[in-house]
């Protein structure tokens, strides 16, 4: 069943996991909830490609350091197990991030 309540591409959205409001991200792209860090599986290979038909909920699995891209949060789909790394936002919840960091 497709879910349309979690819009990426830097629009304001209400998180489908924790119901908190996310404003657009200044100078970036809002691709996960800043409060619970959950995302949705809408991309197949490239972040933003919207080619996945899975639409499963993606949980924040861990934080990884990716060289030039800096720290990224790795989301793992609870439905299919796919992992996708996403850029962090400056207002992401620091308590959750610190628990994910190595």
Which residues bind to Zn ion, rule: CB under 5 A?
15, 17-18, 33, 35-36, 41, 54, 56, 77, 79-80, 82
Closest CA to 79 of 49, 51, 42: 42
Q: Which residues contact 73 (CB under 8 A, 6 or more apart)?
A: 32, 37, 60, 62, 63, 85, 86, 88, 92, 97, 100
Q: How far is the CB of 40 from Zn ion (least distance, A)?
A: 9
Q: How far is the CB of 68 from Zn ion (least distance, A)?
A: 27
Between residues 54 and 72, which has the closer beta carbon with respect to Zn ion? 54
Between residues 19 and 66, which has the closer beta carbon with respect to Zn ion? 19
Work out the burial of residue 92: count CB atoms within 10 Å of its CB; fewer than 13 is exposed, 13-18 middle, 19 or more buried: buried
Between residues 10 and 17, which has the closer beta carbon with respect to Zn ion? 17
Q: How far is the CB of 11 from Zn ion (least distance, A)?
A: 15
């Amino acid at each position: 069943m497709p879910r349309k309540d979690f819009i990426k591409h830097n629009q304001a959205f209400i998180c489908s996991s924790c119901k908190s409001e996310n404003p657009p991200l200044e100078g970036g792209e809002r691709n996960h909830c800043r409060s619970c860090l959950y995302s949705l599986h809408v991309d197949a290979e490239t972040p933003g490609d919207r080619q996945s038909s899975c639409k499963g909920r993606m949980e924040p699995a861990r934080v990884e350091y990716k060289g030039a891209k800096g720290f990224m949060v790795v989301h793992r789909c609870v439905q299919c197990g796919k992992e996708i790394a996403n850029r962090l936002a400056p207002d992401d919840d620091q308590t959750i991030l610190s628990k994910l960091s190595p």
